[in-house]
Amino acid sequence: MVWLGDNSIIGHNGAQGVIYDYISTTAKEVWSYSVWSDKQYTVTSEGKYLRYALYDSNKQQIMRKAIGLNMSTDTVKGQIVVNDNSAVAYIRISIDWVANGYGHAKFEKGNTPTDWSPAPEDVDNKISAQQVTIDGITDTVSKQGTNIDSVTKRVTTAEGTLSTATNNISGLQSSVTQTSNQIKTEITDRTKGDAKHFAKLKGLYTKVLSLVMTRVFKHS
């Protein structure tokens, strides 16, 4: 991984290290560090070190120092006192064997090391990630709501179409019934008319037959 070399040169080795960016500081300021080991590491020729360097306002290195870390215990704590140099404006550190699950470290202003806690920016990043997730869920729910509204509109349209079809069928049934009634009325009227006509013919036939029979008997 990485470590802090002279003149801000970033070195690379297999010691699973991390390096911090430039941190504002002043002469004689006290900083505390804590290093925790989360799992066993393999000691290389590089050992395990905390390296720090001081820089001026132009980020030009003033000095650099390596502090050996005795990791016979799970936690190592210590202090760094910034040199009595008015030109000091920044401090930067690197720590071996705290990356990729090997451990974690805390570097803080003051002479009393505190228990490890996530950096504020890490918390902010997690909150931002959660917000992205929440926004994604909200967007998904909104899209589902839009889809539901679309389905509702389609169902409403289908119901309207069905209602129109039902009205058309009812109108057709009414027309069929009216036509049927008209046909029945016409048949009835014709039947009654034919009956009256036949009755008239029958009466006329009876009269003619009576007249013929009368004449026949007279000539006899």
Q: pLDDT of 23-51, one tens digit each?
A: 999 999 999 988 887 666 544 445 678 88
pLDDT at 12: 58
| Whether pLDDT at 21 is above 80 | yes
Q: Give the amino acid at 29.
A: E
Q: Residue 19 carries which side chain, given as an amino acid letter?
A: I
Between CA 120 and CA 100, with CA 74 as vertex, the angle to 5 degrees is 55
pTM here? 0.49
Tokens of 158: 């289908």
Cα 52 to the chain's mean position, in Å? 45
Q: State pLDDT tens for residues 193-214.
A: 666 766 777 777 677 677 767 7
- 85 Cβ neighbours under 8 A, 6+ residues apart: 27, 54, 62
Confidence class for position 219, pLDDT limits 50, 70, 90: low
Averaged pLDDT score across all residues of the chain: 75
Distances (CA, A) of 197 to 150, 202, 211: 70, 9, 21
From the options 3.30.300, 3.90.550, 2.60.120, 3.40.50, give the CATH code of 2-117.
2.60.120
